[in-house]
Amino acid sequence: MKEQFKISSIPENGCKGLSVKHGMDEIKVIIVRQGTEIYAYQNTCPHTGVNLDWIPDQFLDISGKLIQCSTHGALFQITDGYCISGPCAGQNLRPLKLNIKGEGFEIDFS
């Protein structure tokens, strides 16, 4: 059975980090909510493989418009995870599929 999360648990125009069970593994996930859109990525920098946050739930840059890696400052577009600046420029965060169901969502690893 997939874990269900409430959309309201993600701040509007904000983000949240989640740990999601996938089989025997625990996957770190970033959820970003921008207006009515919700985006999900694996919480792993494509440059070094580290988690993007060093403070829980802090993934966005000061403008709130880009995802920022806390280790080396790489900047990623929220809508597609594409790195526009930093040592991994041109690479992407790993997107995750979301199934929205009413006021909730689940992460689909299939």
Summarised one tens digit per residue, pLDDT across range 71-90 is: 989 999 999 999 999 999 99
8 Rama sector, left if φ>0, alpha if ψ -120 to 50, beta otherwise: alpha
Interatomic CA distance for residues 34 and 79, integer angstroms? 9
How far apart CA 4 and CA 1 sit, in angstroms, is 9
Q: What is the pLDDT of residue 60?
A: 96
In sequence order, which residues have a C-beta less than 8 Å from that of residue 7 and are 6 or more positions away? 33, 38, 100, 103, 104, 105
In angstroms, the CA 40 to CA 28 distance is: 11
Residues of the chain falling short of pLDDT 50: none
- Domains of the chain and any CATH numbers: 5-108 (2.102.10.10)
Pairing of strands 14-22, 5-6: unpaired
